[in-house]
Structure 1
Amino acid sequence: MSELSIAFGQLVRKYRKEKKISQEKLALLCNIDRSYMGRIERGEVNITLEKAYDIAKILEVDFSLLLP
């Protein structure tokens, strides 16, 4: 796990909770498996820029806010 992946995942979790969206619902809206979303939030995977942008769009935050 890289520090960047961990920091990104923590920010995703922060904004997801602020929006009161479940991990399962966010995963569904992003068209990914819930367990994969959990791995993203824990910083266990490197995701594509496209998927990171999708997450930002669904969370209604500027993409740059997800970058540490």
Structure 2
Amino acid sequence: MIREIFSKNIRKYRANLGISQEKLSELCDLHQTYISSIECNKRNVSIDNIEKIADALKIEPYKLFLKDV
């Protein structure tokens, strides 16, 4: 469940910024297929990568785990 919330929130915050998965992957120095697999709820993510993604999305990392934000 937490992974599903996480993946939906990444997609939502990315869409709010109006950036593609490719652009997000560039901003956090991760491969585009890795970002895609996270958004599709197919990947466990390390704490280091959570921080990279949150920084790229310009949010605090904890916001990626909040339900219904």
TM value normalised by structure 2: 0.87
Moved over 3 A (4+): none
Report the aligned-residue RMSD: 0.9
Give unmatched runs, 5+ long, in structure 1: none
Distance 2:29 2:55 in 1: 13
Distance 2:22 2:4 in 1: 19
Distance 2:50 2:5 in 1: 13
Tell whether the 8 Å contact from 1:6 to 1:44 is kept in structure 2 after alignment.
no
Q: CA deviation at 1:52?
A: 0.5
Distance 1:50 1:34 in 2: 17
Give unmatched runs, 5+ long, in structure 2: none
Correspondence list, 1:15-54, <5 A: 15-54=13-52
Work out which of the residue numbers 10, 13, 17 in structure 1 matches 2:11.
Answer: 13
Q: CA deviation at 1:51?
A: 0.4
Percentage of matched positions with identical amino acids: 32
Distance 1:4 1:60 in 2: 21
TM value normalised by structure 1: 0.89
Q: CA deviation at 1:24?
A: 0.3
